[in-house]
Amino acid sequence: MIRTLLEHLQLIFEKTVFVYGVTLLIIYACLALFSFYSVRRFLRKESYTDYKVIVGSELAPGVSVIAPAFNEGLTIISNVRSLLTFDYPKYEVIIINDGSTDDTLEKVIKEFSLVKIDFAFDIKIVSKPIRGIYKSTDDAYAKLVIVDKENGKSKADATNAGINIASFPYFLCTDVDCILHEQTLQKLIRPIMEEENARVIATGATLRMANSCEIDKGVIIKVKAPRPLLARFQELEYIRSFVLGKMGWSQINCVPNVSGGLGMFDKEIAIKAGGYDPASFGEDMELLMRMNRYVHDNKIKAAVRYIPVTLCWTEGPTSLKVFMRQRTRWGRGLFQLMVTHRKMLFNPRYGRVGMIMFPYNFLFELMAPFVESVGIIYYILLAVFGLANWPYAIILLIFVYSFAIMISTLAVLWDQLTFQYYKTWTDVARIAVMVFVEMILYHPLIVVFALRGYFFHIFNRKHSWGNMQRRGFKPSSAASTTAAT
Amino acid sequence: MWKDLADLLFQAYEQYSLLPLFIEIALAFIFLAILSTLIAYGAILHKRYRAYVYEKRMAFISPKIEDMITEQVLLNPNLGYDIPLESIEFDPNALGDKIYRKPFVRQMLIDTLIQYRKNFRGEVGELLRKLYIDMGLDKDSFAKMKTLRWERKIKAVVELTQMDIPISDVTILPLTNSGIPALRAAARNAYIQLSKNEPFKFFDIATEPLLPWDQLEMFKIITTTKDIAIPNFSRWVSYSTNKSIVSFCLKLIAHYDQQSTIPAVMELLSNKDHYFRADAINCLGKLSAEVAEDKLVKIYNNQPLNCQIEILKALGRIASGKHLEFLKSEFLYSSNFDIRMNAARSIIRHNTQNSRLMVEELMEMTHEENQLIIKHCLNPLIKY
Amino acid sequence: MPNILVIEDDDIMLKAIRNILGKDGYVVITAKDGKEAFEKLENADYEVVVTDLMMPYANGLEVVSRLRSDETKRNVGIIVISSVGNEETITEAFRLGADDYLKKPIMAGELLIRIRKLLSNKNSTSQLVTKKK
């Protein structure tokens, strides 16, 4: 009697997991198709678009570039300089010195002949107090604003301060240590300006690892695939997450996250949604979720769009320790977000966000690490008790493995279709090799670190990583968890 | 031998059909996945190889093209002496090179010529155009217009527009109402630039929105094309039902400072859409429409915030001085920061004896935050 | 012949200007970004600098600003060539001390005339200075 019951349970469990897995794979296959379509559409458009028109136009909307900096004394000058060289006619650069304890502020003041000025602004989003606002006496740097504020221990708090003093209707959120392409503003503003039936509230583009690129004073000289193994895995993950994942979601207007490393936002909506939440561990995704919520509550037809070109290069963590902190933080952020906004789950009031995007993230991003670990433990138990059907188990394993390889390979292909960032064959090969070992070497790490994040959140371990929480954003809170198979 | 193979396959199939369903599905997926992976790698190889070949060719051909254009156009000895263009001849040997017969090279030639045209107008620009025609490249562009692929059509239209080659109305007009937004935009631009009699005809019939991105190019074409007859845009402001066309016209009115349109623009102040009203108020300000001032102040209290701010801005632009007291009271008593900020800016913008006295007076009588606002607005280092 | 520094990040335009100016006999030195421009400004003296506004490493306005704040280079003629045509930018360029502003597409003839004019102005002012001495 008990034996048959157990057998039944086993069967139900196995079937559920199988259905879960197949559904996930089908979703990925659909994403691959959607993204292929939207990448192709983008490429067609690029073939006849002349971006010089917007550079020369007086109708170009203004954009405020907001970049928080914390103890960046070593590189701050060249990074600020590089932010001042966008090909765009109307923008300002707001650098937020987030209570640095080094000479970041002094260096900038000296280099750009800054003076402290009386600056009136409205506190629309609460942030830690601002100590002073600086502008340059040299007209050549008229676009530059430096905000000196007390340390708020989070990127969210610093960015909020920047949003308060931003004077243009759109803002670009980035990190001071990200290297942005000179065409970033013109390329990201375009989807906003050519959407016919909706208000585009946020746009984003691909991020990549800057680790092995040749960089000179904040300018990329040559793109190279990263050499360090960990960074190489991340590069592959980012390509998949952006070019395949987000481009796919963008096609059906279900983009879950515009990454904190690079994203352009509609300021009005961002402010009305309440700005970034300093208490969040995944503030970028959380803000977008609230913006989505706001537009639905107010019946504004809105869209979030992604473009497949790489506009931002960021240094990915190369030490396992830093990497673990980053991913634990992301895991925690996701868990926190799902709990905070749980009312949106399968809530038709929120349209696609409530019916597709949120459920997907809940079932296949949040739950995946659980399901995977339970599955593995289950197989181990079967093996220990000698109950495993080895041929079938192996077939299932090959099934998952081959599918994962296919998805990653397609991502690499889509990326090669958009723009060939790697100049040499060996660079492509470097990434292609990762496709085959990722499942074994990299993926388990992601799963474990995500679970660690959930665990910390459930038991509310606040100070477990002390100051490093602050540093958390430094190695880029970039690719979301999306498509981290 | 074939029979053996068939037998084998059949046996395999029999085995397969005996397996449980989920294993069957898994096996099917594995087969599919491996196949797609292989195809994907093939595609990557192919793509990279093609890019490699393309780059090789480019490296060989593009300096050749650039040198030819430099020789024939930029360094043309006849330039700079007011010689009529028609009588300037190119060196037939340089143009007749066999390489310029290949379609791939011809496309590159067109692209390069367009790049030069974006940098040079005047005599050099005209000579570039002549080169384009003399080499028969206009025929290439026209041929492209006949293809079915719309992105190639767009490319053709853009090329012809860039090179200022007239396209017959019969060809271009239907495209201005095409269902493909990008083609429509390109065709409209071409029509405005190339149609000599009635460049703005499609404003009357356009039902599709004129997207902000497309407005950029169109605005540029309207404002830079020589001998284009600029109509009085109030026509569309009053009668068009297409909002995006009206708001685009408002921008053009401001650009051309069409004072006579003021009454038509003022009509829009009673429009229901407040974004639209804000555009109209903005336009009135840029026109320095003194006649509109009283009306703007009168409707002020019934407007949403964005319109109120636009009204304050407009009063600063018009700056007749009649409503300084109004600005002052808004500055002193509004609870909204943005309103106070814009009121202060507009008072300062008057830049008259009265306004300067008022600023001084306000500095003394108001509270700290308002003083900060005034200092902010007076600071020449703050530009936006 | 007078030295002219041309700073421009668009390859085609850079070569084109070099050719056009070279044809009129000027000695043309080119720089394709801000970094190269500042290096070349350090190493030699120029009568006229023709600069783009948007390029890697530095902004054309910085070039103008640095030239004007440097005692030894204050008299260099500066012509800005840019596809940006909004009023604010043009005013900014003039306020910083640019002598001329040409919006792309430019007329080659106009560029030559403006350079000639700048050079002749300079000659006359330097003559004035010498006379005063």
pLDDT per position as a tens digit, A23-56: 998 999 999 999 999 999 999 999 888 899 999 9
The first and second tokens of residue B290, run together, are: 């003194």
Contact A436, B33 (CB under 8 A): no
Q: Is C88 on the interface with B (CB under 8 A)?
A: yes
CB-nearest to C12 from B80, B116, B121 is B116
Torsion angle of C-alpha atoms B190, B196, B197, B201, degrees rounded to 10? 10
Q: In this structure, what DSSP letter does residue A179 have?
A: E
pLDDT-derived band at A323, boundaries 50, 70, 90:
very high
Is there a domain that residue B28 lies in?
A: yes
Predicted local confidence at residue A463, as pLDDT: 45
pLDDT tens sequence across B174-205: 888 888 888 989 999 999 888 777 788 888 88
Is A62 an interface residue toward B (CB < 8 Å)? yes
Closest to B279 in 3D by CA, of B256, B313, B302: B313
Q: Is A390 on the interface with B (CB under 8 A)?
A: no
C13·B124 Cβ contact <8 A: no
**Mutation site, C90, C91, C107, interface B, largest B CB count within 10 A:** C107
pLDDT, tens digit, for every residue of B202-256? Answer: 888 888 888 999 999 999 999 988 778 889 999 999 998 889 999 999 999 999 9
Contact B13, B31 (CB under 8 A): no
Cα separation, C103 vs C79, whole angstroms? 11
What average pLDDT does the segment A359-372 reach?
94
Instruction: Test B43 with A413 for CB contact under 8 angstroms.
Output: yes
Interface pTM, i.e. ipTM? 0.91
Indicate yes or no: CB of A55 within 8 angstroms of CB of C62: no
The shortest CB-CB distance from B40 to any of A58, A59, A413 is to A413
Residues in A lying within 8 Å of C, measured between beta carbons? 52, 55-56, 58, 81-82, 84-87, 89-90, 138-142, 182, 216-217, 219
Mean pLDDT of chain B: 91
pLDDT tens, position by position, C29-87: 999 999 999 999 998 999 999 999 999 999 899 999 999 998 888 889 999 999 988 88
Which residues from C are below 8 Å from B257, CB to CB? none
Q: Which chains touch C (3 or more CB pairs under 8 A)?
A: A, B
Residues of A in contact with C70 (CB under 8 A): none
What is the rounded CA–CA span in Å between residue A136 and residue A120? 17
Q: Looking at the domain C3-132, which fold is it?
A: Rossmann fold (3.40.50)
User: pLDDT tens, B137-165?
Assistant: 999 999 999 998 888 999 999 999 999 99
Taking CB atoms and an 8 Å limit, are A194 and B43 in contact across chains?
A: no
The domain total for chain B is 1
Q: Which of A54, A59, A399 sits opposite B29 (nearest CB)?
A: A399
DSSP state of A73: T
Nearest residue, CB atoms, A56 vs list C64, C85, C92: C85
Nearest CA among A203, A205, A201, A190 for reference residue A302:
A201
Q: Please check whether residue C95 touches A, CB under 8 A.
A: yes
- The answer, for A190 touching chain B at a CB cutoff of 8 Å, is yes
User: What are the pLDDT digits (tens) for A261-282?
Assistant: 999 999 999 999 999 999 999 9
The answer to whether residue B50 is domain-embedded is yes
Average pLDDT over residues A461-478: 41
The pLDDT assigned to B263 comes to: 95
Residue A55 Cα, gap to closest chain C Cα (Å):
6
Selecting from A81, A87, A219 the residue whose C-beta is nearest the C-beta of C54 gives A87
CB within 8 Å: A139 and C92: yes
- How far are the Cα atoms of A136, A142, A455, C60 from residue C38, in angstroms, in the given order? 20, 20, 54, 11
Q: Which residue of A22, A119, A167 is in closest CB contact with B25?
A: A22
Domain annotation covers residue B30: yes
* Shortest Cα–Cα distance, C121 to chain B (Å): 22
- Please list every residue in chain C whose beta carbon sits closer than 8 Å to the beta carbon of residue B125: 105, 107
How far is C-alpha A11 from the chain's CA centre?
39
Contact: B36, A406; criterion CB under 8 Å? yes
Which chain C residues have a beta carbon less than 8 Å from that of B120?
16, 105-108
- Closest-CA distance, C131 to chain B, in angstroms, reads 35
DSSP code string of B203-245: HHH--S---HHHHHHHHHHHHHSTT-----THHHHHH---HHH
Distances A410 to A31, A46, B23 between C-alpha atoms, Å: 11, 21, 25
Query: Does B143 map to a domain?
Result: yes
Residue B72 lies in a domain: yes
Answer whether residue A465 shows pLDDT above 60: no
